[in-house]
A and B are shown apart, each in its own frame.
Chain A
Amino acid sequence: SQTIHQWPATLVQPVGSPLSLECTVEGTSNPNLYWYRQAAGRGLQLLFYSVGIGQISSEVPQNLSASRPQDRQFILSSKKLLLSDSGFYLCAWRPGQVRGSYNEQFFGPGTRLTVL
């Protein structure tokens, strides 16, 4: 069966510091991967998605970036954090390259980031 991991689970960082959040998926190959941010305990904002290694699409221009160095690894980064970057960061996956299927996404446990 497939599982998705995220770490760290919680993170407290000062303003201006760098960020690296990691997401890995097990039990599947060539998944589509997604990064979401959830601020103030509500709406899910799509930040980045990837359909393959090195292929990253950005939904919202900001001081965050994403990379996919391996098939089942997705990394969210920042060079300098802002107060507004605080939130709950969720990674999600779905089977990729499956035409005719429907798009259920499976979410990871999330990383709660607090920028002080």
Chain B
Amino acid sequence: GENVEQHPSTLSVQEGDSAVIKCTYSDSASNYFPWYKQELGKRPQLIIDIRSNVGEKKDQRIAVTLNKTAKHFSLHITETQPEDSAVYFCAASLGGSTLGRLYFGRGTQLTVWP
């Protein structure tokens, strides 16, 4: 099955700096890559996703890049704010499958210091 590795496990940045979280996947058939944000005690919520026919996607301060050849994708957060502090999960999936399984990375605890 698919194996998703996520790094780093913890990340601390100063408010206003950028944060980058990287993930690799093993199954070249995976073609859908969502990112979830989980605040303390809350449910994970989708913040951005990318499909394999796209190399980059942006949504305000958040962007995701995908390198299919190298089988890795990254989350970029610019101008970080204290409210960005949370655990971030990457995931990979075979889009179009009726099973809809997501394979998650182990998460990155992002702390943004004011």
Contact residue among A41, A42, A44, A96 (Cβ-Cβ distance under 8 Å from B98) = A96
Contact residue among A51, A99, A107, A110 (Cβ-Cβ distance under 8 Å from B96) = A99
Stretch at the interface among B21-29, B63-71, B99-107: B99-107
Q: Cβ of B104 and Cβ of A44 under 8 Å apart? A: yes
* Residues of B within 8 A of A (CB-CB), count: 26
Contact with B along A18-40 (1 / 0, CB 8 A): 00000000000000100000000
Q: Is A1 on the interface with B (CB-CB < 8 A)?
A: no
Stretch at the interface among B11-19, B39-47, B73-81: B39-47
**A96 contacts across to B, CB distance below 8 A:** 98, 100
Contact with A along B85-110 (1 / 0, CB 8 A): 00101000111111111101011010
**B32 contacts across to A, CB distance below 8 A:** 102-103
Q: List the A residue with the shortest CB-CB distance to B96.
A: A100
Q: Is A105 on the interface with B (CB-CB < 8 A)?
A: yes
Shortest CB distance B25–A (Å): 14
Q: List the B residue with the shortest CB-CB distance to A106.
A: B46
Q: Is the interface of B mostly helix, strand, loop or mixed?
A: loop
Asked, given contacts A90-B44, A108-B43, A110-B43, whether A103 binds B97 with beta carbons under 8 Å apart, the answer is yes
Asked, given contacts A42-B87, A44-B89, whether A103 binds B43 with beta carbons under 8 Å apart, the answer is no
Contact with A along B48-64 (1 / 0, CB 8 A): 01010000000000000
Contact with B along A81-116 (1 / 0, CB 8 A): 000000000100010111111111111111000000
What are 9 of the A-B contact pairs (CB < 8 Å)?
A: A41-B87, A42-B106, A49-B99, A96-B98, A97-B98, A98-B98, A102-B51, A104-B46, A107-B45
Given contacts A44-B89, A96-B98, 19 further A-B pairs with CB under 8 A are A32-B98, A32-B100, A42-B87, A43-B106, A43-B107, A44-B107, A49-B101, A90-B44, A99-B96, A99-B98, A102-B32, A102-B51, A103-B95, A103-B101, A104-B46, A105-B100, A106-B46, A107-B43, A108-B43
